[in-house]
Amino acid sequence: MSSDQKQTATVPEGGVVRVEEWTSGEWQDFLLRKSWLTPQERVSKVTRLAGGNMNLSLKVTHTSGEMFIKQGRPWVEKYPQFEAPWGRTALEADFYLCTRDTARIRDAMPAFIGIDAELQVLATQWIADTTEASSIYAEQSGSQFLRQHSEFLLSYLEALNGSEVKKLEGRFDQNPLKLLNSFHIHDYPFQAEQIRVAEEASLQNLGWLRDARFTKVRDEMKADYLGTGDHFLHGDFYPGSLMIKEGRPIVIDSEFCMMGRSEFDAGNLFGHLILAGAKSNEIEIEWSGSRYFQSLDLGYLKKTAGIEILRRTLGVAKVREFKSPEAFAALIDSARALLFQ
Ligand SMILES: Nc1ncnc2c1ncn2[C@@H]1O[C@H](COP(=O)(O)OP(=O)(O)OP(=O)(O)O)[C@@H](O)[C@H]1O
Ligand SMILES: [Mg+2]
């Protein structure tokens, strides 16, 4: 492994290089030095992308095509007042490096071009003409998405969860992003104020979210999430990490990758399909033919889905709007049913 591929845990002494301020000429020099471009290729334009909350995302246009560039800085791009761990972009690159020999994973993702660990700059193939899978929330087309893409996505997760990455220096054991993410999954959504706001929006008493029975499940899931596990996970497996091209999902954004319980990725997806209007039994029936799904602990998977639905409804990272208090209440009820079957 080259020094570039190792994680750099601390911000360089000179501070973070703000690559968005580079001229085309500076990009040209950098990309050539990295051998990500050939001397014959010239950079013509660098555009900042609107999507992406955590990181800086750029499109570099050059004479023979385009490239996707991502830089993870020690802050959350959309909310710069919040810190984020330096080194996460190199970890995303490690994900690509560790999985590139597995066709089922590699072929479902943009091609990896390279990583500069010093700058925390990742380059991948630019994927043109995609649609955002996240449209399924507004369209409430989760059932259709389920039928179209389940086989592909479960096959991807099966290959990923079976990857032998444990030998690789254990660097996926403790992704520092987990602490930040856990706060947003297990803590913030269930603070008194968030529950109160949800009670107002649903016109329901949500006292069960304050009860010891719920808190116990939530605490157990938090401990599991923050611990280590036997399976390699994407860590952020939901429509926001999927782009659709020619009717097929492309998986992106593996910066949350980690070792954990297999049910975590599949459970997240299960929860998001429900957020997009699919029904729990419909997902179970659709997935029942998959050997991979059969190998998972269904009860635990459903708990994961339940927590994910709640955090996307009560927490910061909301994914959809609700037409009525009844629709809001119905979703919270479905999360409760998944948590306490
Ligand atoms: N290889 C690619 N080709 C074209 N567009 C891409 C590519 N990778 C990502 N994008 C676009 O850039 C956006 C941001 O990418 P990504 O999700 O990796 O960044 P992020 O900062 O980690 O986002 P988030 O904060 O939502 O997790 C994506 O939503 C997608 O629209
Ligand atoms: Mg991300």
What ligand has the least distance to the C-alpha of 234?
A: 2
Q: 54 alpha carbon to ligand 2 midpoint, in Å? A: 6
Domain shared by 7 and 34, yes or no = yes
Say what the pLDDT of residue 204 is. Answer: 96
Angle (nearest 5°) at CA 9 between 6 and 14: 105
Domain shared by 164 and 226, yes or no = yes
Say what the pLDDT of residue 269 is. Answer: 98
Classify burial at 42, counting beta carbons within 10 Å of its beta carbon; exposed 0-12, middle 13-18, buried 19 or more: middle
The closest of 161, 182, 273 to 225, measured between CA atoms, is 182
Report the CATH number at residue 58. Answer: 3.30.200.20
Domain shared by 326 and 211, yes or no = yes
The closest of 112, 87, 145 to 278, measured between CA atoms, is 145
82, 110, 125: which is the final residue of a domain?
Answer: 125
Q: How does pLDDT run across 159-169, given as a tens digit for each residue?
A: 999 887 655 55
pTM of the entire structure?
0.94
Q: Minimum mean pLDDT among 77-91, 163-177, 184-198: which range?
A: 163-177
Q: How does pLDDT run across 253-312, given as a tens digit for each residue?
A: 999 999 999 999 999 999 999 999 999 999 999 999 999 999 999 999 999 999 999 999
Say what the pLDDT of residue 166 is. Answer: 57
Domain shared by 188 and 231, yes or no = yes
84: Cβ below 6 Å to ligand 1?
no
Domain shared by 111 and 258, yes or no = no
CA-CA-CA-CA dihedral for 272, 276, 277, 278, to nearest 10:
-50
**Residue 75 DSSP symbol:** B
202: Cβ below 6 Å to ligand 1?
no
Domain shared by 89 and 115, yes or no = yes
Domain shared by 32 and 9, yes or no = yes
Query: Does residue 13 register a pLDDT over 90?
Result: no
Tokens (6 digits) for 307 = 């927590």
Domain shared by 297 and 183, yes or no = yes
- Quickly state the pLDDT bin for 239 (edges 50, 70, 90): very high
Domain shared by 234 and 211, yes or no = yes
Provide mean pLDDT across the span 51-77.
95
Nearest residue by C-alpha to atom 30 in ligand 1: 51
81, 108, 125: which is the final residue of a domain?
Answer: 125
Domain region containing 322: 131-339
Domain shared by 47 and 192, yes or no = no
Helices (H) and strands (E) in the chain, counts: 13, 10
Domain shared by 208 and 319, yes or no = yes
66, 98, 125: which is the final residue of a domain?
Answer: 125
Q: How does pLDDT run across 128-177, given as a tens digit for each residue?
A: 999 999 999 999 999 999 999 999 999 999 999 988 765 555 777 778 88
Q: 53 alpha carbon to ligand 2 midpoint, in Å? A: 7
Classify burial at 101, counting beta carbons within 10 Å of its beta carbon; exposed 0-12, middle 13-18, buried 19 or more: exposed
> Higher pLDDT residue, 92 or 6?
92
Please give the tally of structural domains in the chain.
2
Side-chain half-sphere exposure of 3, counting CA atoms within 13 A: 2
Say what the pLDDT of residue 1 is. Answer: 35
| Whole-number Å distance between alpha carbons of 136 and 328 | 17
Report the CATH number at residue 297. Answer: 3.90.1200.10
